[in-house]
Structure 1
Amino acid sequence: MKFAFAVAATASLLLVPTGGAFATESCPGNPDALGTSREVAIDPATLPRIGFMQYKEMVELQPKEVILTFDDGPLPKTTPAVLEALRKECVKATFFIVGRMAKAYPNVLREVAAEGHSIGTHSVTHPLIFPKQSLEKGKKEIDDGFAIVNAILAQDGRQAAPWFRFPGLGRTAAFEKHLDQIGVVSMSADFPVDDWLRHTPDQVYKTALARLEANGKGMFLLHDIQPATVAMLPRLLRTLKERGYKVVHMVPLGTPGAEVARAETRTRVPAMPKQPVSDTVSPGMMPSLAEPVQPAPLTPPPAPSAADQTPGPGGQLPARLNPLPPHNVVGGDLMPLRRDEMPFSVFWPSQIVNDLRAPTMR
């Protein structure tokens, strides 16, 4: 029943009709564009968890194929520049959206979706250590993140794909079970580029290439809120083209022209060459394939209700993942956060921290 629902639901999550891969010769103003070589549709029933950094399965990629993903936006000063770099190369990517950022900058989120990029979610507030959330609080972070994003995308007749990336890649078996119950894929990655460590654009660029070359293919984890990523992205895309790499775009199941993704299995963690500077990766950001840490105590999640397993009109997601007033909305605006509640503030640009400390969200 759950699998049948997952397929039915994702069929209604098309962001834009794309008609398959993008021909580079048709890329406006750039006949030598990197382009998007093919699209793969993600079926939650067969690929419920993706990314070799944490899981044993990944979308099957051919040698020199890459998937680009961006976390933590949208942000007006950086996300549009990322979109421009992708647009110039006719490249499609996936953006994992923080609900609080979407609420603050809804038009930037709508622009990302209008460009044809896939939209996943990344919680409401991006708790720094997600496994420390209680089960109910963590489920609210997940569910309300979808609610906020979907309420914005619904203005253009769109809906987020049923994909979720844990903040900081912090997972537990209980939270993964919740995603299974609501038909949502847990999206990890294959390797990060360490752009949250305040590296220079050149350092981020070298880290990205070193890890890609060491693995030969895979899914990048980047951040569209980081100025270093914005600065190095055009160079990285050009280098991918020069070295013969091809970009694969993940899309929701049912997208016209997309092939259904097959699973590739691996039991080892991808190669992570040493960073070009002395910084070390923060705890929790480089998890292994070991079993996830279990916070205690945890209460068993409730069994899915009939409403949760019954698709709505057009095969929509369950009601609790459709546009609903988020639990922390007051007077149409999100409640201000205390500094200790800031999502990932240690690594976020100061503009974000200042914006999120404002009395209300814009």
Structure 2
Amino acid sequence: MSYSILSNETKQQLEQERARLTADRDAVIQTAVQQATAALDRALQQLNDLLNDGQAHNGYGSRGETIVQPSEQSLPEHPAKQAKKTSTPKGQSKPKSEGKGQHPAAHQFNSKVLKPEFAGLSPIKAMVQVIEQSPEQTFDAEEVIRTVYDEFDPADLPTAKRSVKITLVGGAKKGWLERVQENPPLFKALTGAKSPAGALTDDQSDEAIEVTSAEPDDDEPSDSPERSSKKAAKGKAQPRARAKEKAKQPKAQSFEATKTKRSFRGMEPLQAMVNVTATDPARSFSTVEIIREVYGEFEESEMPRAIKSVAGTLTRGVRRNFLEKTHSNPAQFKFKASGKETGATSPTLLVE
């Protein structure tokens, strides 16, 4: 239908309808933009909160700023024209990115620089103080870091976690904390633990807490130069540590029929065995029980030879009426209270 043949009334109605549809279109666009922007702002705010960053890095202002709505009058110019208007004049350098200038550079992690409220305390004392404030709660390294240290460069988090784990493990070895889980390591306050306050000076406590190894940190890159150097140092220290451990561990003894426990020194083996059965005259003892009571611990591979030797001694005690055999298979013996031997001396009894 040609516009020229429409009546004035019809033209007015059509123009009103067009204006209404245009307004509805702008309202729909405005609502959609607001909803989409609000959703994006919420997502960005959550990411900023997780990253402990108070400002968004998306180039826009805060969420509270008014959103400029698109309209026919405020449509952006063609990108090429806009670029010409905003191009940098010759001889002038482009300004640096505002995003980088808005935020101060994050400082590196320093294990000895604590929050102001922990001034005067060593790291281990501050950590123990924090953990003791919640005796029923378990703490991991990250929770302790957030409580004790100010914010630092996120790239230093693996180093910080490793340092704090070493300190907490040292505190557990000193009896100030309780380690409730190995991997990942979790710590809690130790009931009745001695307080680290005043036990050592700050420098001494830091030196005392240093240990040669700690759990590997999943957040630290495997090819980290610092970690590689520590692994090399640890590898050199391991042979010496293993040698010390071997020196500390007592060597398993072989069985000797005449070598009884210290409490039976000066007695014949039969006297010691009768003495053991006399401690509970109503009870029957197996051969292995008597061996353990008389000889203590020795190499397990020596047990068959020990049983054979002790069985012969016990049988001799039965023949001399010092013992009574109550069971054959397996052999069991008990003390014979009326035991006598003609022309022989009874074994000396040392009933404990």
TM-score, normalised on structure 2? 0.20
If each structure's strand is expressed as a fraction of its own residues, which one has the higher value?
A: 1
Q: Which has the higher contact order (CA 8 A, sep 6+)?
A: 1
Structure number with higher helix proportion:
2
